[in-house]
A and B are shown apart, each in its own frame.
Chain A
């Protein structure tokens, strides 16, 4: 029995399931994972769905094995994914760097829960967002997206595969327990309307002299060779030259790592996603993402109804960080408020780009921040004008 890959139509769908359907619609045909709340429903559904479409599901012995298996699967040509939560995400960190260094595309979904350590397995958190950016050792760059609805669990998983393949980088879908476990309407488009960005592949036949890590194009992305194609390519986590050969020189290292980071910077426009509400006239700009942005939108709507010129910048891509819209807003805004379910992570990024006061609305996790504390902060900022404090910790 073969199943449909793209479940075109309207669904009332669980966020984790929408992520699964996004993956399969995007052409994911390999999943390796390990059960962990609150991402387990992704593994359960994809274990059922992949065999229907000729894909491979394997439950590995841990999350380290899971990420290695998807890197290996991707090296052989498959679109491959794993899904996890904080503790498993931590176990994957070392090999994020391997995927970066080998330039093998992978997608990792982190349905964030209360943390650190075992934390709150069944309750939400947003405290892995800096880990997504910086968790592996060394300098590198990746892309990460924060869905705020089951619909975006679908859409952003598709985007994650496209960005990963197009730029040969690991891409994270940084969901959270609220969005992962929420059931809401999800519209899945017809198969031909699912966007597909292909991997750049070699255009010359295998021959002596082919340099698999030579990036000749302006996008700094070299063509990707899959196992078994006759190119006999060497992939290593060691610093390597354009041939893929280990080279322990400072020059080669600087050249390689700079290209890997610059590759993401230079192509950031293709990866960055954000959305604005009421930003046209906003003097107080709320910045939020994931489930917290739902409350932020409500708070902004309530503030505007009360005559306060507030607006919301919703970060859809956390990484690359949408710095351009933020720089633009810095010309009109008097203050920024960053609402996030951690004790202040993305706020650090906001502070890098604006000179205005930046106020955090924070909660360590376990419950979604409701609209009220965000609205109260907006009102407080509005009432105190320019004399507001630099930072205020407020809980939901």
Chain B
């Protein structure tokens, strides 16, 4: 079992942090192997940025995402740029207010930024998305991601982020569970 997840967006949306927390949840609290990689350098700073997580039940040799099984796109540019890299039948999760999907794609939609704004901080849209991903896929337990949030972020922002995670998680549960 090897699965590849790409989280993409524009700078400032926290896609690297989201990938880190997701990878940590898998690697430390789900008993799986996980590797996170990202692009570096001035070329990686502008425009669409991404973080990439590979999970597996055996040691991960090749650490890079080649053909994502999951693409989470938080911006139009990220969607347009990375959609072709993902499998044709990849699970697509889009920020529904920011991304118009290509014809033929039937992505899952989450208004992550709007939900984050309702919590008072649009900056946690990435964590809302993680909550949505966790509930929608059922690939890992809610507590694993919550533990990863608690053990990654400074204590003062943990409650906000746990709320954001719960908000995305519940939003997905209220809709149709897809996998």
Q: Name the contact of A185 in the complex, choosing from B20, B28, B37, B41 (C-beta under 8 A).
A: B28
Which residues of the other chain, B, contact A295 by a CB distance below 8 angstroms? 61-62
Determine if B41 and A178 form an interchain contact, defined as CB atoms under 8 angstroms apart. Answer: no
Report how far A371 CA is from B60 CA in the complex, Å.
12
Which residues of the other chain, A, contact B43 by a CB distance below 8 angstroms? 122
Determine if B40 and A38 form an interchain contact, defined as CB atoms under 8 angstroms apart. Answer: yes
Cβ-based interface call for A168 (8 A): no
Report how far A185 CA is from B41 CA in the complex, Å.
24
Determine if A368 and B34 form an interchain contact, defined as CB atoms under 8 angstroms apart. Answer: no
Question: Given contacts A298-B62, A368-B62, is CB(A12)–CB(B34) below 8 Å?
Answer: yes
Task: Categorize the interface residue count of chain B.
Answer: 20 to 34
A1-22: contact bitstring with B at CB < 8 Å (1 yes, 0 no)?
0000000001110000000000
Cβ-based interface call for A136 (8 A): no
Report how far A20 CA is from B61 CA in the complex, Å.
23
Per the 8 Å Cβ criterion, residues 11-48 of B in contact with A are 20, 23-24, 27-28, 33-41, 43-44
Most buried by A among B23, B27, B34, B63: B63
Cβ-based interface call for A183 (8 A): yes
Report how far A183 CA is from B35 CA in the complex, Å.
6
Smallest beta-carbon distance A86→chain B, Å:
15
Which residues of the other chain, A, contact B41 by a CB distance below 8 angstroms? 37, 121-122
Which residues of the other chain, B, contact A226 by a CB distance below 8 angstroms? none
Cβ-based interface call for B64 (8 A): yes
Cβ-based interface call for A370 (8 A): yes
Q: Name the contact of B44 in the complex, choosing from A12, A122, A301, A368 (C-beta under 8 A).
A: A122
Question: Given contacts A12-B27, A183-B20, is CB(A298)–CB(B63) below 8 Å?
Answer: no
Cβ-based interface call for A297 (8 A): yes
Question: Given contacts A12-B28, A122-B43, is CB(A185)–CB(B61) below 8 Å?
Answer: no
Report how far A184 CA is from B60 CA in the complex, Å.
10
A154-179: contact bitstring with B at CB < 8 Å (1 yes, 0 no)?
00000000000000000000000110
Which residues of the other chain, A, contact B33 by a CB distance below 8 angstroms? 184-185
Smallest beta-carbon distance A115→chain B, Å:
15
Report how far A181 CA is from B24 CA in the complex, Å.
15
Task: Categorize the interface residue count of chain A.
Answer: 20 to 34
Report how far A183 CA is from B60 CA in the complex, Å.
12
| In the complex, residue of chain A having the shortest beta-carbon distance to the beta carbon of B26 | A12
Cβ-based interface call for A182 (8 A): yes
| In the complex, residue of chain B having the shortest beta-carbon distance to the beta carbon of A296 | B61
Cβ-based interface call for A294 (8 A): yes
Determine if A184 and B61 form an interchain contact, defined as CB atoms under 8 angstroms apart. Answer: no
Which residues of the other chain, A, contact B38 by a CB distance below 8 angstroms? 181
Smallest beta-carbon distance A368→chain B, Å:
7
Question: Given contacts A294-B62, A295-B61, A297-B61, is CB(A182)–CB(B27) below 8 Å?
Answer: no
Report how far A182 CA is from B63 CA in the complex, Å.
8
Report how far A49 CA is from B96 CA in the complex, Å.
41
Determine if A183 and B36 form an interchain contact, defined as CB atoms under 8 angstroms apart. Answer: yes
Determine if B40 and A122 form an interchain contact, defined as CB atoms under 8 angstroms apart. Answer: yes
Which residues of the other chain, B, contact A370 by a CB distance below 8 angstroms? 62
| In the complex, residue of chain B having the shortest beta-carbon distance to the beta carbon of A302 | B61
Q: Name the contact of A12 in the complex, choosing from B23, B37, B62 (C-beta under 8 A).
A: B23
Which residues of the other chain, B, contact A121 by a CB distance below 8 angstroms? 41
A286-323: contact bitstring with B at CB < 8 Å (1 yes, 0 no)?
00000100110110010000000000000000000000
Question: Given contacts A181-B38, A183-B35, is CB(A368)–CB(B64) below 8 Å?
Answer: yes
Report how far A121 CA is from B20 CA in the complex, Å.
23
Report how far A326 CA is from B103 CA in the complex, Å.
57
Determine if B40 and A184 form an interchain contact, defined as CB atoms under 8 angstroms apart. Answer: no
Determine if B37 and A182 form an interchain contact, defined as CB atoms under 8 angstroms apart. Answer: yes
A116-142: contact bitstring with B at CB < 8 Å (1 yes, 0 no)?
000001100000000000000000000
Determine if A371 and B61 form an interchain contact, defined as CB atoms under 8 angstroms apart. Answer: yes
Report how far A177 CA is from B36 CA in the complex, Å.
13
Beyond A183-B37, A184-B35, 15 additional contacts (C-beta under 8 Å) are A37-B41, A38-B40, A121-B41, A178-B63, A181-B38, A182-B35, A182-B37, A182-B63, A183-B20, A184-B33, A185-B28, A294-B60, A295-B61, A295-B62, A298-B61
- 16 A-B Cβ contacts within 8 A? A10-B28, A11-B28, A12-B28, A12-B148, A121-B41, A178-B37, A183-B20, A184-B60, A185-B27, A291-B63, A294-B60, A294-B61, A294-B62, A295-B61, A368-B62, A371-B61
Interface residues of B (CB under 8 A from A): 20, 23-24, 27-28, 33-41, 43-44, 59-64, 148
Closest 3 CB pairs of A and B: A122-B41, A12-B24, A298-B61
